[in-house]
Amino acid sequence: MGRQLAAVAVALAALAPAAAWSWGGAGHRWIAARALSQLTPVARTQLERLLALEPGATLPSVSTWADDTRTPDTAAWHYVNLSPDGPCRYEPARDCPQDQCVVGAIEFQRAILSSTVSDGERLVALKYLVHLVADVHQPLHAGWASDRGGNRYQVRFGGRGTNLHSVWDSGLIEQRADELATRLADPVPGAPGADEPIAPALWAEESCRIVMADDFYPAQRRVDADYARWAWPILYERLNRAARRLAALLNQTLTVAP
């Protein structure tokens, strides 16, 4: 319980303006802390054993590691570009050649975490998973190549120019930082079941369908109060789904030591 409270404290402290990566640091730490509260005792024991390789590390504190260490070789692991012409259907050969997308990376890193490789290698896989499961739930991480997931879609937000990807990564979260800090401690209706499917392709398709919504790209390229009110329930649901599914993945993968 002490470790859990410490992780929650880290997440609360992180709910402040952050660099615009995937969900920003605040979003990633919130998802990790929320997932931590849903782990089974067995998964928590295995998690703590791996994190002990880096004294002081917690699930929230390692949740941004994949951004901090991003390289040209790993950049494609954080997103997937789906076709804007279809019904948001993920096709591996078209959308993720050689597993170079967030869907393929999640599946690959999960295989490492469940394998008999060294604990050091499994810890690296854990760091990727806590980050990438969150990434795939950010809608614009399953958007279009034409605007680089909203990075090239310029908007006005909060009296300044930015892009839509940054708004969804961190801008909207910064507006609701106090609310998120409070809701982090909301009761969780039971731990994720052992039978909950781990389906990163379906998670990406969900994100894509949000991007395809008529109101997703704001009129006149202005993210105003009306847009923020429309977007917030969607964003909050994605944060919670990411946390629940991350917990389910860890509960099903960290069962016994390999």
- Structure confidence by residue, pLDDT tens digits, 170-228: 999 999 999 999 999 888 777 787 788 999 999 999 999 999 999 999 989 999 999 99
45 found inside a domain: yes
Number of folded domains that form the chain? 1
> Exposed, middle or buried by CB within 10 Å (0-12, 13-18, 19+), for 218?
buried
105 found inside a domain: yes
Distance (Å) of CA 199 to CA 89, 128, 136, 258? 13, 16, 11, 23
- For residue 169, give the CATH number of its domain: 1.10.575.10
- Structure confidence by residue, pLDDT tens digits, 16-30: 333 344 688 999 999
Q: Confirm whether pTM is higher than 0.85.
A: yes
Structural domain boundaries, residue 59: 2-253
Torsion on CA atoms 229, 138, 185, 124, rounded to nearest 10:
-160
258 found inside a domain: no
Question: 135 with 235: CB under 8 angstroms?
Answer: no
At a CB cut-off of 8 Å and minimum separation 6, what does 52 contact? Answer: none
Please name which of 27, 209, 16, 8 lies closest in space to residue 135, comparing C-alpha atoms: 27
Axis-axis angle for helices 119-135, 102-113 (nearest 10): 150
Place of tokens 């994720």: 192
Which pLDDT does position 256 carry in this prediction? 78
- Block means of pLDDT (10 residues each) for the chain, 258 residues, are 46 41 84 95 96 97 97 97 90 96 98 97 98 98 96 96 96 94 85 86 98 94 96 96 96 86
| Pairing of the two strands 222-223 and 154-157 | parallel
Q: What are the backbone angles phi and psi of residue 155, rounded to the nearest 5°?
A: -140, 165
